[in-house]
C-alpha cells in the first residue's frame, strides 16, 4: 500500500481565536514545522484546506483548497483522497507541535501491513481514537459521501462506520499527540509545562 502524508489545515481555529497554523514554535509556524517533519518521512506530502502561503520555502508540498468548503476535517479528507495518486492517506492534524518524523514514520509503517480490504488504520491513544493521526484508504470515499449526504461530518464517525484496523500508539508516540486547541494550551506549551493529552479533538 502506498500512503501519502496529508496535513489537514483548513480549520477555523475558533477556540484558539487565531489561525493555529501561523503560531510560532521553535522559530517556525506550526504548519511549516509539521510539514518539514512529514517531508522527512515521505515525499511529496499534501496540505489540504488552504493555498500555498506567500514565501513558502519547502519543496515537495502540494497545496489543495477544500473541494467542498465548510465541511471540516471530513471535507479535507475527502479532498485528499480525491487528489492523491496513492492508495490512501495518513491524515495529520495541523496543530501538533510535538509531532516529529519518528511519530509519522511509525504511523506509515503501521499502515503498511494492513490488508487492502480494510478502510484504513485507526490509531488509539489509550481508549480514544485519534482521527487526525490515522490512515484512510481510498475505499473510504463511498462512506464519506454517504456521511456527507446524511449531514454527518465527524471523522470518528467514519471510523465507527467503516472497517478499520485499530492499533494502540506506543508511549513515545503518545507524547507527541498533543493538540493546541485553546490559548491556555498554547500558554502551557510555551511556558514549558508538562502537557497531558486530554482526548480526541474532532475539529481543527
* φ/ψ bin of 192: left (φ > 0), alpha (ψ from -120 to 50), beta (otherwise): left
Give domain limits for the chain.
3-190
Contacts of 92 (CB under 8 A, 6+ apart): 5, 6, 7, 8, 34, 38, 99, 104, 132, 133
What is the per-residue pLDDT for 70? 86
DSSP-based three-state secondary structure for 17: coil
What is the per-residue pLDDT for 42? 93
Q: For residue range 81-92, list pLDDT tens digits in order.
A: 999 999 999 999
What is the per-residue pLDDT for 193? 54
Ranges under pLDDT 70 in the chain: 11-19, 192-204
What are the helix (H) ranges across the chain? 30-41, 72-83, 101-112, 141-149, 155-161, 171-174, 183-190
Domain 3-190 has CATH 3.90.550.10: yes
Question: What mean pLDDT is reported for the chain?
Answer: 87
What is the per-residue pLDDT for 203? 38
Q: What is the pTM of this model?
A: 0.88
What is the per-residue pLDDT for 119? 97
Q: For residue range 152-175, list pLDDT tens digits in order.
A: 989 999 999 999 999 999 999 999
Amino acid at each position: 500500500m502506498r500512503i501519502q502524508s496529508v496535513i489537514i489545515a483548513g480549520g477555523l481555529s475558533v477556540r484558539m481565536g487565531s489561525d493555529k497554523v501561523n503560531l510560532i514554535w521553535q522559530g517556525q509556524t506550526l504548519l511549516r514545522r509539521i510539514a518539514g517533519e512529514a517531508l522527512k518521512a515521505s515525499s511529496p506530502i499534501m496540505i489540504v484546506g488552504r493555498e500555498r502561503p506567500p514565501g513558502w520555502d519547502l519543496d515537495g508540498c502540494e497545496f489543495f483548497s477544500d473541494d467542498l468548503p465548510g465541511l471540516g476535517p471530513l471535507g479535507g479528507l475527502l479532498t485528499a483522497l480525491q487528489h492523491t495518486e496513492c492508495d490512501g492517506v495518513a491524515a495529520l492534524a495541523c496543530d501538533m507541535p510535538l509531532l516529529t518524523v519518528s511519530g509519522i514514520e511509525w504511523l506509515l509503517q503501521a499502515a503498511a501491513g494492513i490488508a487492502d480490504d480494510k478502510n484504513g488504520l485507526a490509531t488509539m491513544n489509550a481508549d480514544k481514537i485519534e482521527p487526525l493521526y490515522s490512515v484512510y484508504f481510498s475505499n473510504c470515499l463511498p462512506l464519506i459521501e454517504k456521511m456527507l449526504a446524511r449531514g454527518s461530518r465527524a471523522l470518528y464517525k467514519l471510523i465507527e462506520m467503516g472497517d478499520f484496523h485499530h492499533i494502540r500508539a506506543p508511549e513515545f508516540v503518545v507524547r507527541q499527540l498533543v493538540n493546541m486547541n485553546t490559548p491556555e494550551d498554547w500558554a502551557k506549551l510555551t511556558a514549558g509545562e508538562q502537557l497531558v493529552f486530554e482526548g480526541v479533538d474532532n475539529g481543527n
